[in-house]
Chain A
């Protein structure tokens, strides 16, 4: 187990390096001079030129990358080109909202998906199964932005139950925070719930056909015990895989929900930085996102072995 963890963490280093090179190359491949984009169309030309030199953008690209990397390995992610704020501070400011939203979304999706997934697979072919499947398909097909706007229309404008925006950090005002998070969590959670429901249902149907389940039933165990204790646990493996991927995607990919509900999150930080050609922010944020994805994957692997002791964590898995 320990060997496994050490090897996985060591493997992160080259991956992070690769990610940073790709991010650096991509942002430079997009046409648009950062100095010009930062200053905008109304800036005089000599100001643009002066800024380009001040920001070191006149140096060759490998030199720019090397100087960024040199600082980054010492823990200095640099400063935003736009307003000179430290990148680490910007990430720190933006992470809580996204992390909270990702966790709420995940909990909500599990809360919806697990009961529905189990129920529909046990009652396969019945009305409940049919409704559940249609709902899951709908949940997966409805785009976030549309669902988000619809939720605002219904809950904020029509029924005036929940605010359309107004995020405040959890530690400032917990009640206002949670109220403002309900709609966003639902807007993204609906899709995640749908995906998890479908995985769980398919996986559970597969498991319920297996011999040991028949044996358990033959032993005279109650159907509830058969399903909950014997089948579900085995059916969870693919669900954990998909949930892990979902959490990883949520941490970096909530930009649409963040935009619709004006939540100051991590996704918007990256997207804004790309549009502003704020290279150090893009670099730092992408690197951090990659790190989070790898950590989540690692956690998923650890959870595997807890749920299913047959999976051993040797160093060989990659």
Chain B
């Protein structure tokens, strides 16, 4: 009641205000009185046009537009438009040709030969060829360039341009994840001429072979791309341009999609899905993703250095209930870092809650009143998750205090092992190695739990070798059996990939890596 009255009062006030404004602006020759007819947004769908510019919202400003310097997830969205990769994924995560038309792998798995597409040009007009690919690998491996890609392709020993359109990559040891790696940033080919000319400033002037060319950007606000008229795929891309707009606030993103200022919004939070669905003009696309989320447990510090206490935490959490409360339909329970639908996911049911077992484990551990701090980065969803976890663990007799830390601080403390329990997940990679290796291996770059097990280390290395996926899957199952027992990380859920589309957007195909392919997009 009160709310209704307030709104009415407010509307009246606003109406008065608008009259004042329009009264003053009509005297200004440069402006016009606001009216329904001449405003930029419309709600009606229209036929596809040749000159459409699609506006895609990103939830953060992409820091570095150089695929060989980039470390932020959000950069990868923009790269889909600017760069082509040697190979790509289709919607079922099969590796398909990209800049390489086909490839061969030697029997020992140590030599990859790529046959490159001919007649492809970079946005600056220079030719794409085997020399250019070789330059890209040299660039990533150059110690002075400090590329984050260097560790991804650390298995590469030698790259040779066999002829104009053939490139041979020799590995130090077999690395089964290579193709998947080359379907991401390490496989994106930048123009050697432009990279040499721009130096470190290439991040602000990216030049690739992709369907769209870089036009300009306003840091923190927007990135504008225009169609590459000489793109090697005939009659593509369909749109005349793409504008990536940084919109950090979820509500702002949604209202701008509804009012027509945005065409596609990324990472829609669960709470907005019903709202999006209730707006008949908008489309919601919910697809699988490669992500996982859960809890890091610090194995180097009491009380969680005790395996039984870690097991108790795993047993006390009801994944189904957590998902129902917080995510509704936009998450599925997890039992491993491997998302459903990917080969290494063994389709094992996520463990059910067992409160009695949790209590018994705690008493076996001789710890009657365990108290731990749960660190989260501040967001309404994270708070909700933390509260649910707090309640569930509380019922088992584990007292949880929730500590919010700004993300930079949180990472700092995780790196220094200055925490008990932390809710931090992973954006996911198509190859299983990218979801487990650095997180679990002793001293790994993302091994926040401080976990160390020589047997697991050996298995993780073994799993990198076979080119036959079924053999690798076996090894990963062995690893997961050990991790289920030792619980350095409690795998809780796999978020689904949720995108919101405006009324007229056409040509969007979800790929589980969450990246929006802009080639066929139009409206």
Contacts and interface: CB of A to CB of B under 8 A. Distances in A.
Co-complex (A, B): yes
Interface of A: 30-33, 36-47, 50-51, 54, 80, 82-85, 90, 93-94, 108, 111-112, 135, 138, 142, 147, 149-157, 159-166, 174-176, 178-179, 182, 185-186, 190, 259-262, 264, 268-269, 272, 275-277
A27 B255 CA distance: 34
Contacts of B415: 36
B147 A40 contact: no
Contact of A264 (B24, B200, B218): B218
Contact of B256 (A135, A165, A272): A165
Contacts of A90: 219
A212 to B, nearest CB: 33
A166 B261 CA distance: 7
B151 interface: yes
Given A44-B148, A175-B32, A83 B413 contact: no
A186 B14 contact: yes
> What 5 A-B pairs come out closest when comparing CB atoms?
A32-B408, A264-B221, A50-B146, A37-B408, A43-B71
Contact of A84 (B28, B146, B201, B413): B201
16 contacts: A30-B409, A32-B406, A36-B411, A44-B438, A47-B146, A47-B151, A84-B200, A108-B21, A150-B10, A160-B36, A161-B39, A162-B39, A163-B41, A261-B252, A268-B220, A275-B408
Interface in B14-66: 14, 17-18, 20-21, 24-25, 28, 30-32, 34-36, 39-41, 43, 61, 63-64
A163 B31 contact: no
A7 B201 CA distance: 43
A141 B482 CA distance: 57
Contacts of A157: 255, 258-259
Contacts of A108: 20-21
A32 B411 contact: yes
Contact of A51 (B17, B146, B445): B146
Nearest to A83: B203
B373 interface: no
B224 to A, nearest CB: 12
Nearest to B151: A44
Contacts of A176: 40
Contacts of B265: none
A260 B18 CA distance: 19
A179 B408 contact: no
A135 B147 CA distance: 58
B249 interface: yes
A37 B63 CA distance: 11
Given A264-B222, A275-B407, 14 more contacts: A31-B412, A37-B407, A42-B72, A44-B445, A46-B146, A47-B148, A84-B203, A174-B30, A176-B40, A186-B18, A190-B13, A262-B247, A275-B406, A276-B63
Contacts of A94: 220
B248 A259 contact: yes
Contacts of B245: 262
B11 interface: yes
B461 interface: no
B346 interface: no
The winner among A33, A39, A111, A147 for most chain B CB atoms within 10 A is: A39
A85 B219 contact: yes
B463 to A, nearest CB: 19
A190 B17 contact: yes
Contacts of A153: 255
Contacts of B412: 31-33, 36
By CB atoms of chain A within 10 A, which of B64, B146, B204, B259 has the most?
Answer: B259
Contacts of B31: 174-175, 178-179
Contacts of A269: 219-220
B34 A179 contact: yes
A84 B259 CA distance: 35
B294 to A, nearest CB: 14
Interface residues of A, dominant DSSP: helix
Given A164-B256, A179-B34, A82 B11 contact: no
A164 B200 contact: no
Given A36-B412, A50-B146, A83 B406 contact: no
Interface string B334-371: 00000000000000000000000000000000000000
B404 interface: no
Interface string B181-224: 00000000000000000001101100000000000001111100
Contacts of B61: 272
Interface string B432-471: 0000001000000110000000000000000000000000
Q: Which of A42, A142, A186 has the most CB of B within 10 A?
A: A42
Contacts of B32: 175, 179
A46 B427 CA distance: 20
A149 B71 contact: no
B413 A179 contact: no
A38 B255 contact: no
B218 A93 contact: yes
B105 interface: no
Given A84-B200, A175-B30, A186 B259 contact: no
Most A CB within 10 A of own CB, among B41, B61, B222: B41
A259 B249 contact: yes
B73 interface: yes
A173 B376 CA distance: 43
A53 B412 CA distance: 17
B424 interface: yes
A186 B21 contact: yes
Contact of A160 (B24, B30, B39, B413): B39
A111 B151 CA distance: 61
Contact of B409 (A31, A182, A260): A31
B251 interface: yes
Contacts of B25: 178, 182
B200 A40 contact: no
B248 A156 contact: no
B20 A41 contact: no
Nearest to B15: A154
A260 B252 CA distance: 6
A32 B410 CA distance: 8
A152 B259 contact: yes
Given A154-B11, A264-B218, A39 B71 contact: yes
Nearest to A94: B220
Interface in B217-259: 218-222, 245-249, 251-252, 255-256, 258-259
A54 B39 contact: no
